[in-house]
Amino acid sequence: MGLRLNLILGDQLNRDSLLWHDVDRDKDRFWMAEVKAASSETPSSKQRSVFFLSAMRHFAQTIEIQGFALHYATLSDGYQSFTEALTATLNKYEISQVRCVLPGDVAVMRELAACCQHHQLDIEWLSDNHFISRRGEFRRWMQARRQPRMEHWYRHLRQDRQILMDNNHKPEGGQWNFDKDNRKTFGKNGPDSIPAPLQFKTDAMTRSVISDIENHLPDLPGEIADFNWPVTREQGLEQLDEFIEHRLSHFGDYQDAMWTEQPFLYHARLSACLNLKLLHPMEVITAAEQAYRDGKAPLNAVEGFIRQILGWREYIRGLYWYYRDNWLDYNALDRQRDLPGFYWNAETDMTCMCQSVKQVLTYGYGHHIQRLMVTGLFSLLWGVKPEQIHRWYLGMFIDAVAWVEVPNTIGMSQYADGGIVGSKPYIASGAYIKRMSNYCDHCRFNPKQASGDQACPFTTLYWSFIDHHRDWLSRNPRLGMQVRNWDNKKDDEKQAIRERTNWLYQHLDQSGYKEQG
C-alpha cells in the first residue's frame, strides 16, 4: 500500500485541521509548495508574498520538529504551478491517497483535483474546521430566506453560539448592533496618542524569504523594507494580546475614521493571521468578549469588532461557496473602464487615494473604510471592470484569499453582483471622506465642488454615477433621496458636471492600465 499525501496550502496553517486528527506516521506524508504562479499570476505585493511564504516555512519547521515526514518545495525549486509541483511529488513517491482541507479558492481546488485525476487518484476534500459555521448550515439558512442579509446571519450565530448574550439569552446591552456609536471622527486635532505597532523580529527564515522574493520575483509591486507582520501562531497571539490591551477600547468609536500618515490607528491587524489560520476566530472573539466582561473595553467596541468576524467574515465565506461558479462573471453595472495606473504607484493629486494606495504598497494593508470608501469607491465611480479591481485587491492586500476577497470586492465594494452581498451600492461624494478624515485638508481638490478645476473627482464622479444610473437607482428606496438631489440641480449645473466628468476621463490618469509584477 502506498503513502497518503496530505496537502497543506499557504492559507491552511492550522495545526488543528482535520488532516491531523488521524495521522499515521508510517503512511502519512505532508506536502507544501511555494509556486511562482501564486505570486505572479495575479501580481502579489512583496509584503503579501513574504508574509505567506515566511508563515509557510515557519509552519513547516514546526511539522518537521515534531517528527512528521514533509515534502516542502521552495521558490528555488522552480515550480511554476501547483500542478507542476504536485506532479513531481506524485511521480517520485508511491502515493495511493491524496487529502486536502477544502481550499479557499475554487480555482486552486479545481487545479489540484485535475492534477490528481490525471494521475488516476481521487482527492479527498476535508471540511475546514477553522470556521465557526459550516457550509451546510449556511446553505440551509440561505435556502430558508427570501432576502438573506448579513445582519440576520450574524444574529443567528450570536444566538446559536451564545456569543455576547446576557443571562436571559438576549443580546448584551439590549440591542444587536451598536454601529451608530462607531462613526466618530478625530476632529481637527487628530487622534490622541496611537500605540506604536508591535515589532516582530525579522529572523533568518524571513530574511531568506525576502532574499528569494528579490531573486525569483523581483518585479512584484510594493515595498519590502518595512515588513513587520506576525508569521507564527505565537506571534499572532502576541498581536491579539496587544490589540485587546491597547486598541480595542477605542476601536469602536474610531473604526471608520482615517488620518494622514496613520495607517493602523486602533485597528487589530489580525485578519492576515486569521486568514492563514494561525489564529482561530473563536479565540479572537472570546478574547474580545472577555475584555468587555472584565471592564477593559466598552460594548460598542467589542460588539463592532465581533460583528466583523462573526458577522461579515462568516457570511462572506458562506456566500463565496454558495455562488462559487459565478462571482468573476458578475458585472451588473456594465463597468468597462481600466483600473487607473495610480493604483500601482500612488502617483495622484488626490490625497485620500495617495495615502490609501501608498500604505498598501508599503505595508500591504488598508483598513475596511479605506478599502470600501476610498480605493473601492473610486473604482466603482470610475467604472472599473470588476475583474481588474478584484485582481488588485487579491494581489495587493496581505490578508487576501479568494473566499474573502472576491465577494467583498465584486459584491460589497463594486456592486457587480447586483445585490447579493448588499442591498445598495456604497456610493458617496468627497464630503464623506472629508467628514471621516483630514485627507481633504491636504488636497488641492475641493470636496464641495463637482465642476471646475478644483472639483473633487469623487464628487464629480458621484454625481455622474447617479446621472448615468438614474432610472435604476430611483427604484431603490435607500437611494431615492440622492436621485432627487440630482434631479433638483439646474440644467447648466448638470451639464458642467458632465463636462468635468469627460475631462477627468481624458486627463486624470494618463498612464493606462498595466498590471505590475
Q: Output the pLDDT for position 512.
A: 44
Round the CA-based radius of gyration of the chain to a whole number and report it: 24
Chain center to CA of 424: 20
Domain ranges of the chain: 3-126, 135-195+247-322, 329-507
In the three-class reduction of DSSP (H, G, I as helix; E, B as strand; rest coil), residue 473 is classed as helix
Question: Which has the closest alpha carbon to 53: 217, 187, 190, 254?
Answer: 217
Buried-state track 257-291, b at ≥16 Cβ within 10 A, e below 16: bbbbebbbbbbbbbbbbbbbbbbbbeebbebbbeb
> What is the per-residue DSSP string for 418-449?
SSSS-SS-----HHHHHHH-SGGGG-SSBTT-
Q: pLDDT means per 10 residues in the chain (517 residues)?
A: 95 97 95 97 96 99 97 98 98 97 98 98 97 97 93 97 96 95 92 94 97 97 96 99 98 97 98 99 99 98 98 98 95 97 96 98 98 99 98 98 98 97 96 98 98 98 98 92 96 98 90 46
Helix (H) or strand (E) holding 96: strand 95-101
Longest dimension (CA), the chain: 80
In the three-class reduction of DSSP (H, G, I as helix; E, B as strand; rest coil), residue 95 is classed as strand
Q: Output the pLDDT for position 509.
A: 79
As given in the structure block, the three cell numbers for residue 480 are 431615492
Report the distance separating Cα 220 and Cα 277, nearest Å: 25
Question: Which has the closest alpha carbon to 396: 263, 227, 517, 256?
Answer: 517
Contact 102, 17 (CB under 8 A): no
Contact 403, 104 (CB under 8 A): yes
Same fold, 3-126 and 329-507: no
Contact 227, 215 (CB under 8 A): no
Class at the top of the CATH hierarchy for domain 135-195+247-322: mainly alpha
Question: Which has the closest alpha carbon to 333: 430, 462, 464, 425?
Answer: 425
> Which residues are bridge partners to 337 per DSSP?
384
Q: Which residues neighbour 255 within 8 Å (Cβ) at sequence distance 6 or greater?
A: 182, 266, 267, 304, 367, 368, 369
Q: Output the pLDDT for position 400.
A: 98
Give me the CATH code for the 329-507 domain, please: 1.10.579.10
pTM of the predicted model, to two decimals?
A: 0.96
Residues 17, 18, 21: CA angle, nearest 5 degrees:
110
Contact 69, 107 (CB under 8 A): no
Report the distance separating Cα 190 and Cα 258, nearest Å: 9
Q: Output the pLDDT for position 181.
A: 87
Q: Output the pLDDT for position 89.
A: 98
Count of alpha carbons within 13 angstroms of residue 44, beta-carbon side: 22
Contact 420, 411 (CB under 8 A): yes
Chain center to CA of 504: 29
Q: Output the pLDDT for position 510.
A: 58
Contact 213, 241 (CB under 8 A): no
* Identity of residue 172: E
Q: Which residues neighbour 444 within 8 Å (Cβ) at sequence distance 6 or greater?
A: 349, 454
Report the distance separating Cα 419 and Cα 77, nearest Å: 44
> What is the per-residue DSSP string for 165-206?
B-TTSSBGGG-S--GGGS-----TT--SPPPPPPP----HHH
- The neighbour count for residue 516, using CB atoms within 10 Å, is 17
As given in the structure block, the three cell numbers for residue 176 are 444587536
Query: What letter would DSSP give residue 312?
Result: I
Torsion sign across C-alpha atoms 273, 419, 414, 9? positive
Domain 3-126, CATH among 3.40.50.620, 3.30.2000.10, 1.10.8.60, 3.30.300.30: 3.40.50.620
Chain center to CA of 8: 21
Chain center to CA of 170: 31
Question: Which has the closest alpha carbon to 111: 93, 84, 78?
Answer: 84
- Residue where the block lists cell 490625497: 351
